[in-house]
Structure 1
């Protein structure tokens, strides 16, 4: 149906509804047409409406002055898009008017029709390739998706997917953070462990996680990924940029994961999502026959595994695995909640790092200071709590700091240093404060002030070190006092002190003799 006929049908429909006693508002709402347009069409007869349409089609186009330029460019470059033509017009003519891109699109389309210059669409030619041998190749790609939590909040998750090219056996691994080289290595290790081997070759996009520079074909890998691949036995193949067709198998898997697994799924935490993904792989992605091969990927894997190279687990390195701290000062690890000391949650984005040692999970602050440790629970849906974590020790510590600050002559500097001490030794701050308090109370203010200045200037973050500094200053002060007394008793300048020059009163011997004789006669 052409546009002219469609407009006439609209005109007749408006008049028909008006004859059926429909109001202008009803016609407007039913046909989704502005009420002013309805009134205007009702005021026209058929001849007037036809003249109106002819006038509309012949109205002057705003871009007519640029027709010749557009035609010349289309003759030379017939595949040019209207968006590129718009940019050329602005580049060529400094006074080109501010028009809507749709206006340019319509005018370019009009020029094409007028001069018979249809847009040339270049179709890329493809041909089928033979099935690769078992164990020869795997393809890797990344994806991301927005999920909703149980309370309706949206959260973005990121995933790594690997598919074996021959068996079509798939693996996916999720994280709640943007992929880095460390996370990509962790995902590879998890995938190789899942498929129980490594292929000869892995095909990748030119992703910034792996590549620093394309370097005209001599690809430069990121340091961490290059070090990892040196330890492994597979070779790397990187596709050209913007060429997803060269790794179509994994591209289809990314779409499959989004549409079949992630769509309308509720997000609880990343561990639960990974558990659900493994279950989905087992019951659907690797269990149903593949659309092309008509074979189950799981059955094919049993054949392909004998052609895969043995997987040697990567030597564990200190890869920081971050976990988000929940509002109730817990983290979720493998579908269980583990408590953290009260105050660990400091608002949205609070995180801790996790380390596993034998049967214990150890939680660290981001500055690598241990917060606590728990024995790893067996089972799921459990809460592992340390009752000591429920105590709010912040207020008591704050009160202690305020009390100790008042013992110094400069409370502000004292608080500054004590806050530094608290950050350096959060787990032992109470013991540290007690040492400082006892030291200050047993020392003269002048010495504590001197020791405080030294501690701040030299960034001392230990109460025992502060106590040692005070002891040292006290010893120096005692030595100075002793030396001062010796100087007064033995002046080195030869001058006698005033006290040494005082002459005591003397009694006459005759007086004592007279008293003695009188006593004898009595």
Structure 2
């Protein structure tokens, strides 16, 4: 029934002037189907519909299995179905377009809509062979054999010219030595390395994915200098400069790991490398229209040879970095830990180094510096661990502000009244309120006592009201002074006329001459 509705709607919209692309978008179908239906008369379409019900198709013998996958995972892409047919059922000699059309027909017949991810990517200029490699970190949550959720972490490499990929997984967050070892294995897999490696600057500051932080450590910098490749940090929020690796991360998540069951790390990585050989590096790329493995066979001749073995014994497990949050805490392994109040600064890097020693979490501002905070690591996740001494500074800061503000006023009783009102009305934002009062005192020192009197008269109890009244009084005085200045300027050179002494005598004697 839906086929007939689509057929009539396609012809109706086309007659009204809609383009084929816009019709496909409106009806949620492919542009090829729109073209196909427009080329059919109603008689041809009816014959075509009947033939669909009677003809045998290549994938009919796998219909039940594909339906099971689609019903269990409605967001499954046809590309993943194509990969699973090869991996799980050993299907050969079936074109990917055949699978895509078959899956689309099954979704239509059995009413299994597909949920499409909303993320979009932009193309980037093609680069010469051997020039650039892009690297990014990711993570995914999958189910294990017992049906429990398991968090996995991965690093992905892609050669920018050939799109040839390498991926490796861990079942824990990355350490510096892990990142270096995986770079070495990627170079071996690629049979060389590029002149430049691009990393995502956003990942360097990410809290949820700490792996990217590790290229900031001295151990990785030593490795980069030993291997002599240049590092390029792409601009923040700039997908154009790292679009290829963004596509790889998405491809790994939605084509390999999605709906896959985790047994152990070794089996998972083996399955991933087989997937790379079978699908990840074997598919024909939709832009370059070639297989990644075929282009890589040409590109590897232009890669720099990796000479010798890097001495990993020189790499110690160093501190990893964390970002200080605005509430003066850091996140580590699912928990939050306090640092002294005021450690976070708006315009600073706000990076600290953390490591575990004897069951305690040590937090330092530098890798070799003294300890900023030390916490006992609790069991479980989702905990907030606070050292009480880290929060004492709030009270002293408030008291200092109150004392400074009070000293600036002649009317001590009046300012105490206003501060008490602010404490009652804004208990959680009292520091912010006091800072507004403080800045107003600095800006309008002549008017603060008059402003306080106005506040009491109008029963206003907000620091913003205090600032606005002081500003108004200042403007009013400025206007009066400007008027006074104008008047003085206007009559500055005006002089009374000089009169002879006898004129006053004439007035006294009624104009008679003396």
TM-score by length of 2: 0.35
Structure of higher CA gyration radius: 1
TM-score by length of 1: 0.34
Larger RCO, structures 1/2 (Cα 8 Å, 6+ apart) = 2
